[in-house]
Every structure is written in C-alpha cells, then in structure tokens.
C-alpha cells in the first residue's frame, strides 16, 4: 500500500489515480475501488460514474482552472492537484483558490512530482495531504513542515500576515 502524508502523519493510501487517457471501461472492469479521476473524465462520463459502486473523487492538472468547477466539488471527500513537474507552480494557486475563494473543506492532496523541499510551501497554500514521489524518504519528508517557523504572508495555513501579528 503506497504511503501518503496526511495532516502531518504517514498513512496508507486507499485511492488510485486514473491517468488522463483512461476510458470509462475501467469502471466496469474494476468495481468497488476508490478512484481519483481526471477532470475531463468527470465531465465526460457522469452517467457511468453515477452507476459506479466505489468512491469517486477528481484530480486537476496544473492547467485546469478551479473557476471551471461548479459547487458539486463540495461533495468530494478529496480533490487532488497534480504537479506535472515540481517546478510548475500553478497548483499552489489552485489549492489556495479551492480553500479561500471556494471554501472547500475536504482533503486537498498533492500528486505527481511531489518532493520534500516543496512540502512546506504546499501546506501553506492549503494542501493537507501529500502523495510524495516514490523515491522520497517519508521520515525526512515529515520534517519538512518545520523548515520554517514563521512566514510573512497571509496564507491558507496562517491567514494573518506577520504585520498584523506583531
């Protein structure tokens, strides 16, 4: 069972990420699973998804826009945001928008090229779960959230900027 960091602890991951190219036939072939489906899959196969007897949540790629989502997002237990490369910073803004503008309360999970040295920033932007890349040392990753003791900005994790806390 792959490891996941959630709310500061290493836990087992029960969700399977479906790739962009996957078709709806997978739903019939593999019943009763927890699938994270791409946004396009969610939009295109509503009917098949409604009939599915497992759990469904969505993942957004870095170029997907949170503003394109309707209020049904609040029904998902989690939304995953992809980092196609760790240097692609768009999912930071998407996480923030989900938490702040859309007030999404479920799990926001980082998937893809998720590495130790970006975890602190991700958490600040509203991620609370991290499916770190297979080669990352999970114990080392757990220490990353303490890289900084404080920050200047107004973030999801610390909504009051330092200048209002002085």
Partner 1 sequence: MLADRVRQYQNQTERFLAGKLSESEFLPLRLQNGLYVQRLAPMLRVAVPYGMLSSAQLRKLAFIASHFDKGYGHLTTRQNIQFNWPSLSEVPDILKHLAEVEMHAIQTSGNCIRNTTTDQFAGVAVDELEDTRPYCEIIRQWSTFHPEFAYLPRKFKIAVCGTKVDQAATQVHDIGIYLTQNSEGLIGFRILAGGGLGRTPVIGKEIFPFVEKQYLLSALESILRVYNREGRRDNKYKARIKILVKEIGVEEFQNKVMQEWELIKNSALLLTDDEITRCKSCFTDPNYESLADTPASLSDRLQNNILFSSWHTQNVKPHKISGYAIVTICFKETGVAPGDVTDRQLNHLAQLADEYSFGEVRVSHQQNIVFADVRQDKLYDLWLGLQSESMSSPNLGLLTDMICCPGGDFCALANAKSIPIAESIQREFNDFDNLIDIGEINLNISGCMNACGHHHVGNIGILGVDKKGEEFYQVSLGGSSKNQASLGKIIGPSFAQEEIPGVIQKIISIYKSQRKDNEKFIDTYNRIGMDPFKEQVYAKAD
Site of interaction with partner 1 (CB under 8 A): 65, 86-90, 92-94, 96, 101, 115, 117-118, 120-122, 124-125, 137, 147-155, 159-164, 166
**Least separation, in Å, of the C-beta of 78 and partner 1?**
21
Is residue 1 classed as helix, strand or coil in its secondary structure? coil
**Least separation, in Å, of the C-beta of 2 and partner 1?**
20
- Residue 53 or 87: the one with the smaller Cβ distance to partner 1 is 87
Q: How many angstroms from the chain centroid is the CA of residue 79? A: 5
**Least separation, in Å, of the C-beta of 134 and partner 1?**
14
How far apart CA 74 and CA 63 sit, in angstroms, is: 21
- Residue 58 or 95: the one with the smaller Cβ distance to partner 1 is 95
- Residue 120 or 142: the one with the smaller Cβ distance to partner 1 is 120
Is residue 107 classed as helix, strand or coil in its secondary structure? strand
Beta-sheet strand order (sheet of 129-130): 9-12, 3-6, 129-130, 107-112, 78-83, 55-60, 34-38, 16-17
**Least separation, in Å, of the C-beta of 124 and partner 1?**
4
Write the CB contacts of 149 (distance below 8 Å, at least 6 apart in sequence): none
Reported as half-sphere exposure (CB side, CA atoms, 13 A), residue 104 has a value of: 30
Residue count (the chain): 166
**Least separation, in Å, of the C-beta of 42 and partner 1?**
21
- Residue 28 or 65: the one with the smaller Cβ distance to partner 1 is 65
- Residue 48 or 88: the one with the smaller Cβ distance to partner 1 is 88
């Amino acid at each position: 069972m792959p490891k996941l960091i959630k709310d500061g602890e290493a836990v087992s991951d029960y969700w399977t990420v479906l790739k962009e190219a996957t078709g709806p036939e997978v739903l019939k072939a593999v019943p009763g699973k927890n699938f994270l489906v791409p946004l396009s899959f969610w939009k295109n196969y509503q009917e098949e998804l409604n009939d599915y007897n497992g759990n469904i949540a969505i993942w957004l790629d870095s170029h997907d826009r949170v503003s394109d989502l309707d209020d049904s997002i609040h029904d998902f237990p989690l939304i995953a945001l992809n980092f196609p490369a760790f240097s692609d910073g768009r999912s930071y803004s998407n996480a923030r928008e989900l938490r702040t503008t859309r007030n999404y309360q479920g799990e926001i999970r980082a998937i893809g090229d998720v590495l130790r040295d970006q975890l602190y920033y991700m958490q600040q932007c509203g991620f609370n779960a991290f499916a770190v890349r297979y080669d990352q040392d999970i114990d080392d990753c757990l220490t990353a959230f303490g890289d900084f003791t404080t920050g200047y900005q107004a973030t999801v994790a610390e909504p009051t900027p330092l200048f209002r806390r002085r």
